[in-house]
Amino acid sequence: MSLLNKIFGHKNKPITIEELQKALKNREFVFYYQPEWDLKTNRAIGVEALMRWESPKRGYVPPMEFIPLLEESGIIHDFTYFLFDETLSALSELHKIDPSLFMAVNLSVSQLRENDLITTIQKNLEAHNIDPKCLECEFTESQELTDEILSNGVLDKLADLQIPVSIDDFGTGYSSFERLKQMNVRKLKIDLSFIRTLMEDEKNKSIVASMIKLGHDLGFPVLAEGVETTEQQEWLKQNGCDFAQGYWFSRALPLDQLKPFLSENLKK
């Protein structure tokens, strides 16, 4: 069998739980970090951790292809510990460049249901000597997640610890204004689908402008995801958007490339 055949043959096989366990043990899951930008000062203010599975057999596997399986199999619990350990260790390195930078991590509904989530976070904040205010937990707005957040009190526990929370993919899911009002969040992250066609689509402009206003009226700063062009960036800035993230500023980078990138940016 040719090498290509071997690789593609393997790629088509369903991912197994054993394979994921092994991958976790072998540290095949790695984090890339995408900077978040302050549009007023034109500086990086923090980064979002985005997980990658670099499998020796499959090559790069996108998170959406294996996170559901991690969740179903319960391995996500071990993964959660690894996530905070790894990203907060990275943040302690970034703090040598700028102690005000924050680390945003994505959490899914099954991670929110873990009984020891708060303990895991606390342990890792202490181990890496990180101020809780420099961590940020992102939740995608979905009905299941919103119900979970509001019913199990995890938001209040995070608030007690002074850990900020943000709403991811805002505008695509289930956003009851009633719920939004109850949530104590650091920022709203407007989904990239609204930004992609922003300049061509007058309706998207109205929607994005309304989301910025809504966020501000409720007291939340607003970030636009998926900013790829200078025109989009200018429009967002003129329309009062606070923060942005996207290829225009930077792709998600491995830690060793992120450090020089941030050092350069902060010197400017």
Residue 62 touches which of Mn ion, ligand G, none (Cβ within 5-8 Å per kind): ligand G
Q: Look-up: residue for tokens 């976790």?
A: 24
36 versus 138: smaller Cβ distance to Mn ion? 138
The site string for Mn ion over 106-135 (x = CB under 5 A, - otherwise) reads x-----------------------------
Among 128, 168, 180, 224, binds ligand G (CB under 6 A): 168
Does 168 sit near Mn ion (CB under 5 A)?
yes
Q: How far apart are CA 129 and CA 89, in angstroms?
A: 9
Tokens of 87: 């990203």
**Contact between 40 and 48 (Cβ < 8 Å):** no
Q: How far apart are CA 151 and CA 12, in angstroms?
A: 39
Residue 252 touches which of ligand G, Mn ion, none (Cβ within 5-8 Å per kind): ligand G
Among 88, 101, 252, 255, binds ligand G (CB under 6 A): 252
Q: How far apart are CA 184 and CA 176, in angstroms?
A: 14
Which helix (H) or strand (E) segment is 263 a member of? helix 255-267
Q: How far apart are CA 212 and CA 206, in angstroms?
A: 10
Nearest approach, Cβ of 138 to Mn ion (angstroms)? 5
* Amino acid at position 65, single letter: E
The site string for ligand G over 207-226 (x = CB under 6 A, - otherwise) reads ------------------xx
Nearest approach, Cβ of 34 to Mn ion (angstroms)? 9
Q: How far apart are CA 190 and CA 266, in angstroms?
A: 25
Does 159 sit near ligand G (CB under 6 A)?
no
| Interface with Mn ion (CB under 5 A) | 106, 138, 168
